[in-house]
Structure 1
Amino acid sequence: MLKIIIPTTMMIPMTWLSNPKWLWPNTITNSLIIALISLMFLLLPLEMMVLMNKYMGLDFISSPLLVLTCWLFPLMILASQNHLKNNSIHKQRLYIFMLTILQMALILAFSSTELTLFYIAFETTLIPTLIVITRWGNQTERLNAGMYFLFYTLAGSLPLLIALMFLYTSTGSLSLNLLFYSKMFLMTNPNSILWFGCLTAFMVKMPLYGAHLWLPKAHVEAPVAGSMILAAVLLKLGGYGIIRITLIFTPLIKLSYPFIILALWGVLMTGLICMRQTDLKSLIAYSSISHMGLVVAATLIQTPWSFTGAMILMISHGLISSALFCLANTNYERMHSRTMLLTRGLQVALPLMATWWLLLNLFNMALPPTPNLWGEIMIMVSLYNWSPWSILITGLGTLITAAYTLHMFIITQRGQLPKHLKYTTPTFTREHCLMTMHLLPMIMLMFKPELTSGNFS
């Protein structure tokens, strides 16, 4: 763990003390080395938590998410270069500093084995994300988006804090390992209220349909790195929290019914909303809510298959949605508009970028043999086993996903090239490198999906 925490901490002085000319190369190189070192965490021994001290440790649930966080850090810096080129050097340093603080908070959240530390790290991620959205966002609506994000997250986190205090007074400890093995202590009457209190914050973070209104706003107004980290890691923090908390409590499947139904209803509703979107970033944001609805439903069923499917889908969706936001940003940098109709026919002007669009859309549709398909099929099978009627919603959700994904590809890439796009800037090597770095892990995971499955069986 120290191999990751110390180099990430050292990024802070390096960001402020680097020569302005070498700021971006230094930060990208250092963060890429951290990402490559983190890959060793995928080879942890199964069914065992590797403890660094009594507050921090890694196991098969947290290690894939920690690696995903570290892998996306250099990609966020790489994607933000063009966005920040006109900012002063001080603002560029501040931006990278914020991303580093966010990275440290996420590492702490995923590696903490003590719920107090997890709660502090979970809340700390809010501050740098809020600053990145409100300071470096694109439109004037960014302050409104920041307010939504802040109040939804804080309102959801309050019941979690109260539940953790109650847990501590009744059990005398908030250690995850101890609580996991002392389930019998929790079989009391206030158990259901505790369970609801613990899960509220994570449901808002995921977000569950109904508590999702902050997400499209935050995504649309955030700069490219903000959208990437929100879609790829911060939503997964909610899923990780639900898995951890549900493993502590004795199965309370009857209490989960309303939330499972709401999550599945959200898969349909947000899919249909996607089909009516004209804003490209908004479409990708709503598609994230649709995919996370499946993850919420799977984690609440609490079966080994559903947990495995949720883990695979979280990792694969993290990489694919992040790459889609990068592609949306390359369009925005050239057209200065997110409206899909204004960017039609781009295949003629940028043919290689159209190839990336096609590949990523196929991954997003969960075409075989992509990891997205493994995750979705495992979730669908476990949902069908729970209730055969759920196949109607999940099946319809898959059809709608295919429909809006193809709609997004056709409307942005095919058709007559408008006159204002004939002299557009060609694509850069940096952008192709960014896409390759997103797709390479996905192609690798096709051959060894068990790395991200979280050995629940």
Structure 2
Amino acid sequence: MLKIILPTTMLLPVALLSPPKHLWTNTTAYSLLIASISLQWIAPSYYPLKTLTPWMCTDQISSPLLVLSCWFLPLMILASQGHLQHEPNTRKRMFISTLVIIQPFIILAFSATELMLFYISFEATLIPTLILITRWGSQPERLSAGIYLLFYTLISSLPLLISILYLHSKTGTLHLPILKLTHPNLPTSWTTMLATMALLVAFMVKAPLYGLHLWLPKAHVEAPIAGSMLLAALLLKLGGYGIMRMTLLMGPLSNHLHYPFLTLALWGALMTSSICLRQTDLKSLIAYSSVSHMGLVIAAGMIQTHWSFSGAMILMISHGFTSSLLFCLANTNYERTHSRILMLTRGLQPLLPLMGLWWLLANLTNMALPPTTNLMAELTIMIALFNWSPPTIILTGAATLLTATYTLYMLLSTQRGTLPSHITSTLNSNTREHLLMILHIIPMLTLILKPDLISGTPL
């Protein structure tokens, strides 16, 4: 673990001391090297838990997410070069430093075996994200978006801290491997119910659950491209990961606790998909589609079966790549047209033909077309939900239909139609942008060939 965390922290002096001419090259190349070293974590292992240090370990649930978080650092640096090119050199260095600072905290959160360490790193990711949104966001509303993000996360995580301390007073330890061995002998009283609720709600806000999701579209729309990628690919996954980790500790959940979360998650998948159909802002549309997909992850995490956990893991990784790719494509459009409104940026395929190919691939994976891992994940989750309760097929089926509808609407409105009269010329797409799209698409296509690497089940 140290051979990833130490090089990642050494990226800070690289970002702060590199000569201006080589700043982007050095940081991108170095972080790509770290990402390639991190691929060792998903190597097949015969042990369910690989202990790296007394407080950190990887298993089938955390290792794919750890590799994902290392993989996205060079991608975020690559994607940000366009909108930072006119910034002074100091601000470029500060921007890269903020991205680098957040990385060890995410790695710690995904690999911590001690609940208090997990809580601290889970909360620490909030501060650099807040700095990214409020300092480098695009619109004046970025301050209100930052306040929404801060208060939603802080208010929901205070009960989490209290319930972690309550768990410690009852069991005497917060070490995850030991907690799994101790029988949950807590009396089934309303206090236990409240503690379980408190453990879950913080992750539900982060995931986000429908009804607690209002901070997400705001944060996505106002954030710079690296902020959007960070939120979509990694920070939402902290919520899903937390749900999968915590539900295992609580033993079988009582039905009283299942129903509100499952209902909100599935109803939210349906509602946010229909909200997407009438969005005018491209980034807002992609943000709402994230809420819809993460709703399925929450529902799968709540029913606690092997199938549902496997489906949730695959969907989290697939959604990380797909959603981030869509945000990158939306950003390339925005850098050329300076607008995110769908009516003002339509018909760009004749001007940027190769970008049209990336748009098509991204939208097909978002629709969960075979043979993508998205389809495998959604089918697995749907079957698990159907086995748990047959009527859920109505909600999941309708949400899938609406997902296909708004994805096609997004593809047609950005690529097809007559070009608006105010767009007379645009910059050609460059090699950096195509490299960024390729680095998103290659993992998505290779994981189709071996999806058990990310399925969260012992190999």
What is the match of residue 362 of structure 1?
Answer: 364
Question: Equivalent residue for 2:151?
Answer: 151
Corresponding letter in the other structure for 1:358? L
Q: How does 1:374-453 map to 2 (within 5 A)?
A: 374-453=376-455
Match of 1:162 in 2: 162
Aligned to 2:318: 316
**Aligned pair 1:232/2:233, yes or no?**
yes
Matched AA of 1:250? G
CA distance in 2, matches of 1:296, 1:187: 26
CA distance in 1, matches of 2:254, 2:28: 45
Separation (CA, whole Å) in 1 of partners of 2:288 and 2:188: 38
Q: In structure 1, what is the Cα distance between the partners aligned to 2:458 and 2:140?
A: 45
Identity of aligned residues (%): 61
Contact preservation (8 Å) 2:57, 2:111: yes
What is the SS of the residue equivalent to 1:58?
A: strand
TM-score by length of 2: 0.98
The alpha carbon displacement at 1:422 in A equals 3.2
> 1:98 touches 1:132 (CA, 8 Å); kept in 2?
yes
Q: Aligned-pair distance for 1:54?
A: 1.6
Give the corresponding residue for 1:3: 3
Give the distance between the partners of 2:29 and 2:67, measured in 1 at CA.
17
Structure 1 alignment gaps of length 5 or more: none
Give the Å deviation of 1:299.
0.2
1:199 corresponds to 2:162: no
Task: Report 1:49-448 matches (<5 A).
Answer: 49-189=49-189, 190-254=191-255, 255-448=257-450
| Displacement of 1:313 | 0.2
Q: How big is each residue's C-alpha offset from its partner over 1:331-388, in whole Å with a ceiling of 9 and x where there is no partner?
A: 0000101001111110111111011001100000000000000000000000000110
Do the aligned partners of 2:48 and 2:458 also contact (CA within 8 Å) in 1?
no
Deviation at 1:184, TM superposition (A): 3.0
The aligned runs of 1:11-50 (5 Å cut-off) are: 11-50=11-50
> SS in structure 1 opposite 2:343?
helix
After superposition, give the CA deviation of every residue in 1:421-446 in whole Å (9 maximum; x if it has no partner): 23111101100000000000000000
Q: Counterparts of 1:188 and 1:387 in 2: how far apart (Å)?
A: 24
User: Which amino acid in 2 is paired with 1:276?
Assistant: R
Offset of residue 448 of structure 1: 0.2
Aligned partners of 1:99 and 1:128 also within 8 Å: yes
Deviation at 1:416, TM superposition (A): 1.2
**2: CA distance between counterparts of 1:427 and 1:336?**
15
TM, length-normalised to structure 1:
0.99
CA offset at residue 188 of structure 1?
A: 4.2
SS in 1 for 2:69: helix
Paired with 2:363 and 2:274, the residues of 1 have a C-alpha distance of 17
| Cα-to-partner distance string for 1:118-157 (whole Å, 9 max, x where unaligned) | 0000000000000000000000000000000000000110
Q: Which moved more, 1:301-310 or 1:2-11?
A: 2-11
- The CA RMSD over aligned residues, in Å, is 1.0
**Amino acid aligned to 2:196:** W
Letter in 1 for 2:167: L
Q: Say whether the 8 Å CA contact 2:46–2:458 is kept in structure 1.
A: no
| Alignment partners' CA distance in 2, 1:253 and 1:409 | 43
| Number of matched pairs | 457
Q: Distance in 1 between matches of 2:44 and 2:136?
A: 38
* 2-structure distance, mates of 1:276, 1:309: 29
User: Displacement of 1:47 after TM fit?
Assistant: 4.7
CA distance in 2, matches of 1:442, 1:274: 24
Contact 1:267 1:293 (8 Å CA) reproduced: yes
